[in-house]
Amino acid sequence: MTHDPVETNPQNYRVVFENDRVRVLEYTDEPGHTSTEHHHPDSVMITASSFRRRLHARGTSVDVELPDGAVRWLPAQDHHGENTGTTPTHAYFVELKEADPNPVTGAPHLGPVAP
């Protein structure tokens, strides 16, 4: 089974750019939508709309609310999410293809990291 979001959630994710070093995904959904579980490598997330979401992984969840134009680091993670707001979600993910040479050990982070 694949965990590539373009394959697990093709109605929401699409590749808008790719080369040997990065892949850029566009994500859109509507209020009430819940995605299936998928994997993100280390990525930079850029919001194209404000939104409110709940991310779920490993038996825990976190609520995320971001404004239009926010830029956040998203450490590698497996999760699924739901649009808990009243507006569509629109965001871009710049996925890094090179693994972190100094990975952090311990519990992985869920959701984006504030600057």
Overall pTM surpassing 0.85 (yes/no): yes
Q: Which residue has the tokens 């995320």?
A: 64
Judge whether 82 lies within some domain: yes
Judge whether 88 lies within some domain: yes
Judge whether 104 lies within some domain: no
82-107: b or e for each residue (b if 16 or more CB lie within 10 Å)?
bbbbeeebbbbbbbeeeeeeeeeeee
Judge whether 79 lies within some domain: yes
pLDDT of residue 55: 96
Judge whether 69 lies within some domain: yes
Judge whether 113 lies within some domain: no
pLDDT of residue 60: 93
Judge whether 110 lies within some domain: no
pLDDT of residue 85: 97
> For the chain, what is the domain count?
1
Tell me the CATH number at 43.
2.60.120.10
pLDDT of residue 114: 65
Mean pLDDT per 10-residue segment, the chain (115 residues):
89 98 98 97 96 94 96 94 97 93 66 70
Q: Which residue has the tokens 């280390």?
A: 42
pLDDT of residue 112: 74
Domain that holds residue 56: 5-96
Q: Other CB atoms closer than 10 Å to residue 37's CB: what's the count?
A: 15
